[in-house]
């Protein structure tokens, strides 16, 4: 008799567990609004996800009742933690915000150049799990009396922080809630419901007006001054920052009187023309080569700017400006950046080629940003050509390291003859075999020329001079 009662209970539990009477409330849907006409879509990427929950914290349970089979145990944070640490979370963020019209860099679905694409992100969006509530129901197959998966729902609360890589501070914080629910069974319910709930929280973030103001550059107070700029031209790497026509338009720089004996007399004086450029995956150097439309024009490496449209530029006086990439030449590894303020100092450009054995000085920020303005000395070791492109190069034994890239190479008088591009490393140790790009060749590739002697191009005024007429 007892055996028959037991079998009857199991049968009731099994049948009730598969009939679908456990019906969680449907999860709400979010309606995305298209980006406003004329708004700049600011490139962003997903940063990281953390949790305010401690290991062992109860985050849900398996429901008790005739419709849900035992065991009715609790769920702890440790049981679902791996779900938020996996790649699915990032993919959900990228897909959700891309569908909402945001420009999300670093899409893992890209077939190539994913890391390079990450460099153009100006905003980094990070998430913290503040709360999680799971309610699951175990189901049993009525025919085979075996475990058949779980149905249920999950509610997650996420605290979001939006960090500006240009301002180097958070520009927006908010908290959203996401919910996922299904009466269809699955075998990875704790993790999959948590992931789906995160996706819903990301959708709620994408729809928030405050976040839209940052992502679409609409906030007139906090974000506009930094997040305003030219419209995004393309999401593919390696394209010009301007339109093709603008990138081909020749630029003419005012010719400046050459320096004489500057590096022997006061090498530190040349540091005033050198800047620190931060963006992408690290930092590099650059230097002012002139003035255009009232703003300073900076020359650096294409690999320093990456695929970014704008970067953080720190001047020698520690002031910070936002620089806009005007054009780049990836093969020559050269790029132009413009800031709104006039250059505090410009180093004259030497047109005469260097010769082997002459003294040269490199200026930049080796290894660490705090070391910006470092001056090192050496000699020209050889004049070579890059094996593949056959472009001219300067080899010198002047010491440079990562972070020097884009910094000027000047002669003993303080006139620019080239700029740093890289060096050779032997078993992880830097050598004295370093390579520099000749300044004139780089300017030619970028369609930049010097005004004829004695003339000042229209719109370009040498510092300290006033054009006549």
Collect all residues with Cβ–Cβ distance below 8 Å to 6 and sequence separation of at least 6: none
Residue 340 binned pLDDT confidence (cut-offs 50, 70, 90): very high
| Range 249-450 classified under CATH 2.40.10.120 | yes
Sign of CA dihedral 413, 417, 418, 424: negative
Residues of the chain above pLDDT 90, percent = 45
End-to-end CA distance of the chain: 114
Question: 178, 172, 184: which is closest to 226 by C-alpha?
Answer: 172
Residue 425 DSSP SS3: strand
DSSP string, 251-306: EEEPP-PPP-SHHHHHGGGGGGGEEEEEETTEEEEEEEEEEETTEEEEEE-HHHHT
**Pairing mode, strands 123-140 and 58-62:** parallel
Residue 82 has pLDDT above 80, yes or no: yes
More confident residue, 146 or 194: 194
Could you tell me where in the chain the CATH 3.40.50 domains are found? 29-227
- CA atoms of 215 and 36, how far apart (whole Å): 11
29-227 topology per CATH: Rossmann fold (3.40.50)
Collect all residues with Cβ–Cβ distance below 8 Å to 239 and sequence separation of at least 6: 233
Q: What is the pLDDT of residue 145?
A: 61
Cβ pair 132, 80 in contact under 8 A = yes
Could you tell me where in the chain the CATH 2.40.10.120 domains are found? 249-450
Residue 422 DSSP SS3: strand
The pLDDT tens digits of the residues spanning 13-69 come to 444 444 444 555 655 666 667 777 777 888 999 999 999 998 889 998 887 655 676
User: In angstroms, what CA-CA distances link 244 with 234, 239, 464?
Assistant: 12, 9, 34
User: In angstroms, what CA-CA distances link 233 with 224, 242, 244, 291?
Assistant: 19, 7, 10, 25
Q: What is the CA radius of gyration of the chain?
A: 30
User: pTM of the entire structure?
Assistant: 0.67
């Amino acid at each position: 008799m007892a055996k028959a009662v037991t079998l009857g209970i199991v049968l009731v539990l099994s049948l009730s567990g598969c009939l679908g009477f456990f019906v969680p409330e449907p999860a709400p849907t979010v309606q995305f609004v298209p980006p406003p006409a004329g708004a700049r879509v600011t490139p962003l990427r997903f940063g990281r996800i953390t949790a305010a929950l401690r290991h062992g914290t109860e985050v849900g349970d398996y429901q008790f009742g005739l419709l849900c089979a035992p065991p009715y145990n609790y769920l702890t944070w440790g049981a679902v933690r791996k779900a938020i640490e996996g790649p699915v979370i990032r993919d959900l963020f990228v897909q959700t915000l891309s569908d909402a019209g945001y420009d999300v860099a670093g899409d893992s679905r890209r077939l190539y150049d994913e890391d390079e694409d990450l460099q153009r992100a100006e905003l980094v969006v990070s998430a913290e799990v503040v709360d999680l509530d799971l309610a699951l129901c175990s189901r049993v197959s009525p025919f085979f009396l075996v475990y058949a998966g779980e149905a249920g729902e999950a509610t997650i609360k996420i605290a979001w922080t939006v960090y500006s890589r240009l301002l180097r501070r958070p520009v927006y914080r908010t908290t959203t809630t996401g919910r996922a629910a299904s009466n269809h069974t699955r075998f990875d319910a704790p993790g999959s419901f948590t992931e789906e709930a995160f996706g819903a929280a990301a959708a709620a973030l994408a729809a928030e007006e405050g976040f839209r103001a940052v992502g679409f550059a609409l906030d007139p107070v906090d974000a506009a001054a930094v997040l305003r700029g030219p419209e995004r031209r393309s999401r593919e790497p390696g394209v010009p920052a301007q339109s093709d026509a603008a990138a081909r338009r020749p630029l003419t720089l005012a010719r400046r009187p050459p320096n004489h004996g500057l590096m022997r007399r006061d090498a530190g004086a040349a540091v005033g023309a050198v800047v620190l450029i931060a963006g992408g995956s690290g930092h590099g150097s650059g230097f002012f080569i002139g003035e255009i439309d009232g703003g300073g024009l900076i020359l650096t490496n294409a690999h320093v700017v990456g695929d970014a449209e704008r970067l953080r530029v720190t001047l020698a006086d520690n002031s910070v400006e936002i620089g806009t990439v005007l054009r780049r030449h990836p093969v020559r590894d050269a790029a132009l950046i413009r800031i709104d303020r006039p250059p505090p100092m410009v180093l004259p450009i030497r047109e005469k080629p260097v010769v082997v054995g002459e003294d040269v000085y490199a200026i930049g920020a080796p290894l660490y940003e705090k070391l910006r303005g470092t001056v090192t000395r050496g000699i020209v070791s050889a004049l070579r050509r890059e094996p593949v492109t056959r472009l001219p190069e300067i080899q010198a034994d002047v010491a440079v390291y990562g972070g020097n890239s884009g910094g000027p190479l000047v002669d003993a008088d303080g006139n620019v003859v080239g700029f740093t591009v890289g060096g050779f490393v032997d078993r992880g140790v830097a050598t004295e075999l370093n390579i520099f790009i000749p300044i004139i060749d780089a300017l030619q590739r970028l369609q930049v020329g010097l005004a004829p002697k004695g003339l000042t191009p229209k719109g370009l005024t040498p510092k300290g001079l006033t054009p006549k007429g």
